[in-house]
Amino acid sequence: NDTLRVSLVNTEVNESAMLFPNPFSDRLNIIIISRTDRAVRITLTSTSGKQVISLRESLTAGENQITLNTSHLSTGMYIVNISGTNSPRAYSLIKIKR
């Protein structure tokens, strides 16, 4: 009589990110709380689909703050995508004049 044992492990990583201010003008702050050391890709895309900022950031376990210089961007709506080892996340933000 053979017995099969199955063990289920939750591999979902619940990490949080805060983007502020929204609306933003010259700078956009991103805080990512990471459970592990890892790298993420951060992209800022206009609603027309043009990628205006793309960077790779190395995170350490804990709180990581990233500041993007957005003074060169036109006013309008943008999408920030944060992708890494877990599910990618997207955030809608608005750029205003100062």
pLDDT of residue 12: 45
How would residue 11 be classed by pLDDT, with cut points 50, 70 and 90?
very low
Which residue in 39, 40, 45 sits closest to 83, CA to CA? 40
Task: Give pLDDT tens digits for 23-67.
Answer: 999 999 999 999 999 999 999 999 999 999 999 999 999 999 999
Joined together, the tokens standing for residue 15 give 């990490």
Joined together, the tokens standing for residue 29 give 């702050």
